[in-house]
Structure 1
Amino acid sequence: MGYWPKVLVPSFAQGADLITFGGEVLNLAPPGRHTSTQMGTGHFSREGFRKASFFKKVQVIKAQTPNTYVSPEKTRVNIERPKCYDLEVGKNLKGNWGYFFFYGGPGGSCT
């Protein structure tokens, strides 16, 4: 997360077609089984602040027009194991959170 100058990553100079945010876990379990590894704090997003992991003040800036922000409201949510992990997107434009999302979960049995 953060700002990446084009000097460090020249391929970013033209911008991107897709930006992803979120969490990942390493799954070394045999095929057909799922890891017991938690994501983030191990709490589901619905548990909110002080429990779930979060990103706040999420901003996407257009490379062609650096002072133009893209609204994260057009976010597409992809949750591969909803019984193990989840995600909630929100906004608080009057407070200091801006666009944010909570994510995480305990892992374990996902059936």
Structure 2
Amino acid sequence: MPLKTYSEQFKRDAVALYESTEGASLKSTAAELGINRNTLKAWVARFSSNPRAGSADQSEAAAITDAERIRQLERDNARLREERDILRRAAKYFAEETTW
């Protein structure tokens, strides 16, 4: 049984239809287009410009993930600033010490 191949434009149009239809589920949109629900789900993950939150749990998990990411970036930023300051002091120290 040959696999169906869909053009990228068809895939993008399917994702746009899913996103623009209020209250549409993956299952109903996929049935309307005659494609598998998992196929549409993969296309949404790939082409979606504004993915819908599946549930409140997912949005809370994303918020926790974002908060953790911000904390991690702040730690990295502080570490990099400290390294930069150490290098500046070392460069200043060695520049003063050498008299050519």
TM-score by length of 2: 0.19
Greater fraction of residues in helix: 2
Structure whose CA Rg is larger = 2
Greater fraction of residues in strand: 1
